[in-house]
Every structure is written in C-alpha cells, then in structure tokens.
Amino acid sequence: MKILKLRIRSTEEYDALYQRDLPSGGLFVPTTMPHEIGETVIVELVSADLPNPVMIRGTVRSWRSSVPRLRIRAGAIVEFDAEEAHKRDFVRDAMEGTRSDVPRRRHNRLPVSIPVRYRTPDSASFQDGAISEISVGGAMLNTRSPLPLESDVIVEIVPPGAAAPIAISSRVSYQVPTGGTGLRFIARDGDGSRRLRELVRRLRVS
C-alpha cells in the first residue's frame, strides 16, 4: 500500500488542504506521483502539533498534474475511510490545540484491516475479530465490547504470504467506547521482537 507523507506546518495550512465536501473528510496531498482513482493509500501526517505522525487510510478520489504558470500544484485528493473518523477528529482537535492529553508513542501505528483470532487465558476457544491499526508496540483490536483493562490477550495473525498464524501475547492498555480495545504487545524474548518487526514490515509493503 502506498504511503503519502504530508507535513503540516500550521492550522491554516491544514484547513486549506482539508476537503470538507467529502462525506468522511479528506485532504489534498501534494505529490508529483500519479495515482489511480479508487486506489487505497495511507496518508502519513506529520506536524509539530501532533504527538506522533498519524497514519490515516483513505481512497484517492482524484489526481491532478501541476500547472506552473497558474501556480497549481500536482497532487491527489484522498477521502478518509469512515472507520478512520476517530483519527480525523483527533488530528483536527490537536491542530486546533484542544487535545494535548495524548502521550507520545515509541512506535507509529500503521492503519490496516486484517481479520484475527483472539482469546483470553481463561478461555480455551478463540473468537473472531479484526485489527484496524498495528505497530511493533501494540494494536487496536476491534471487538463487540471493550475487553477488561490489564487483561491478557493472545492474538493470532496470519502474516501476508504466510500459511500459518503467529500467536502474539498482549495486554489491554486502554478501551474505546465503540468496542475497540487497545493492546500492548508483550515480547517475552528477542525472537518475539523480531517476529513483530517482520510482521509490521510485511503489512507495510503488502
């Protein structure tokens, strides 16, 4: 999946690039690389007003080439996925200075949409779920209702190109009222850390 990087230097610049007419919101991302309409991409937003780069999944709605004599920049209009509304709103609030309570993460989260299986130690059976973002340090697990804080969770993920799943130990670090469960991965040895890095790398290039 292609990643379009966008550095925002001010709230005014963000407002100028934001596409309010799109149902889920979006951005005009300056880029000289042509993109196909309907192509799925990730917009990586970097700003001094954000605690970390924020990666938002979206779809290319249009692309235009530059017209230097008219001072028109080349770029793509990307509409955010509806599932990324919480990130869209977070970026807006952070740019406006109304959100300063989010700690800085060691690892940037990659937006994904992959099915997984998960279970808690007190259950022998797995349940079906999905992960909507992931990093070497943790993931957002979509569940019908949030799992209890500090509870242990085993997550099974099939890496791209692999036939068998890998099991990842994790712990619930926060909850999202809509049903999301924030997980912190627990790598118990060096091999576990290596497998997590390789998993994220495969997801990034898939």
Domains of the chain with CATH codes: 2-96 (2.40.10.220), 110-205 (2.40.10.220)
> In 3D, which of 181, 178, 176, 175 has the Cα closest to residue 119?
181
Q: 110: left (phi > 0), else alpha (psi -120 to 50), else beta?
A: beta
Query: Once rounded to an integer, what is the mean pLDDT over residues 118-127?
Result: 86
Do 55 and 101 meet the contact criterion of CB atoms below 8 Å apart?
no
Take residue 75 and report the two structure tokens written for it: 């770029």
Statement: residue 100 has pLDDT above 60: no
For residue 81, what is the enclosing H or E element? none
Pairing of strands 40-47, 2-8: parallel
Q: Which residues contact 4 (CB under 8 A, 6 or more apart)?
A: 29, 31, 41, 42, 43, 44, 76, 78
Distance (Å, whole) CA 168 – CA 187: 8
Taking the CA of residue 169 as centre, how many other CA atoms within 13 Å lie in the half-sphere pointing to its CB?
9
> In 3D, which of 94, 8, 74 has the Cα closest to residue 43?
8
Take residue 199 and report the two structure tokens written for it: 């998993």
**pTM score:** 0.66
Statement: residue 106 has pLDDT above 80: no
Query: Once rounded to an integer, what is the mean pLDDT over residues 8-26?
Result: 94
Residue with tokens 């099991």, as numbered in its chain: 167
Residue with tokens 């990307």, as numbered in its chain: 78
Confidence tier at 34 by pLDDT (50, 70, 90) = very high
> In 3D, which of 48, 128, 132 has the Cα closest to residue 85?
132
Burial pattern 25-39, b for ≥16 Cβ within 10 A else e, equals: bbbbbebeeebeeeb
Distance (Å, whole) CA 52 – CA 103: 9
pLDDT of residue 30: 95
Confidence tier at 182 by pLDDT (50, 70, 90) = confident
Statement: residue 103 has pLDDT above 60: no
DSSP 92: H
- Listed range (20-24, 41-45, 106-110, 165-169) with the worst mean pLDDT: 106-110
